[in-house]
Amino acid sequence: MEISESRADTNGKAGSREKEWIERFAAGDQEALGRLIEVYEPRLYAFCRRVLISHEDAEDAVQETLMKVSQTETFRGTTFKAWIYKIALNICRSHLRSSNARKAREETSGLEAMAESPRMGTPKRVFDERERAREVAAAMDMLPEEQREVLVLKYIDDLSVEEIEEISGLPGSTIKGRLRHGRTKLRKILELRGIQ
């Protein structure tokens, strides 16, 4: 009980500090931006890695995103999170359109992209979970780009439909349709591979 309460206190403090840094950045404080970049860089890398699959492309996309963000005096949009993800998504889309990114996607299986972090449990359970994560990652890679993007944003990065609207510029009905179709296709791919 005490452990969960202390974690909640830590998360609350971190959240309030992040909110303070966003407010300071919105007021033009570039030092606050540095703090925000420290918080968001790993999140952006994880997002770009899932969208682009390639480690090198993901690192490039993150650096381009951070450069673009640091050249801006303040954020535009309803939330800092939606704004920075929108920049990252647009950069990822540019990378995907380039012939080098397409070639890298064909050469890279992408299986490790969603299965990098080990989980607690018995060795068999850890192995089974990693295998399932690899299968899901491979299945996600088979989805059309527009469905994969919204699935990653919604279910992996835990963004709301409203935030995805702001990031992608798509109406909510389109996002919901892509989520629905993407889930259906993902389920079918996993069933064909014998994964429940």
Residue recorded with tokens 């994964």: 195
Question: Residue 89 and residue 51: Cα distance in Å, rounded?
Answer: 8
What's the CA angle centered on 184, arms 82 and 113, to 5 degrees? Answer: 55
The pLDDT of residue 112 is 46
Query: What radius of gyration, in Å, describes the C-alpha atoms of the chain?
Result: 18
Predicted local confidence at residue 126, as pLDDT: 58
What CA–CA distance (Å, rounded) separates 79 from 140? Answer: 28
In this predicted model, what pLDDT tens digit does every residue of 154-194 receive, in sequence order? 888 888 999 999 888 899 999 999 999 999 998 898 888 77
Question: Given this model, what pLDDT does residue 43 score?
Answer: 92
- Token duo for residue 189: 């791919």
Tokens of residue 9, six digits = 């206190």
CA distance 188 to 173: 23
Task: Report the amino acid identity of residue 172.
Answer: G
Q: Tokens 């971190």 map to which residue?
A: 14
Query: pLDDT class for 18, splitting at 50, 70, 90?
Result: confident
When comparing pLDDT for 130 and 23, which is higher? 23
Class of domain 13-108: mainly alpha
Architecture of domain 116-196: Orthogonal Bundle (1.10)
What is the identity of the amino acid at 140? M
pLDDT tens digits, one per residue of 113-144: 444 444 445 666 656 666 777 777 778 888 88
Listed by start position, the domains of the chain span: 13-108, 116-196
Residues 6+ apart with CB under 8 A from 79: 163, 166
In whole angstroms, give the CA distance from residue 126 to residue 194.
19
Distance CA 20, CA 3 (A): 26
pTM, two decimal places: 0.66
User: Hey, do 13-108 and 116-196 end up sharing a CATH topology, with the first three levels equal?
Assistant: no
What are the residues whose beta carbons fall under 8 Å from the beta carbon of 43, sequence distance 6 or more? 157
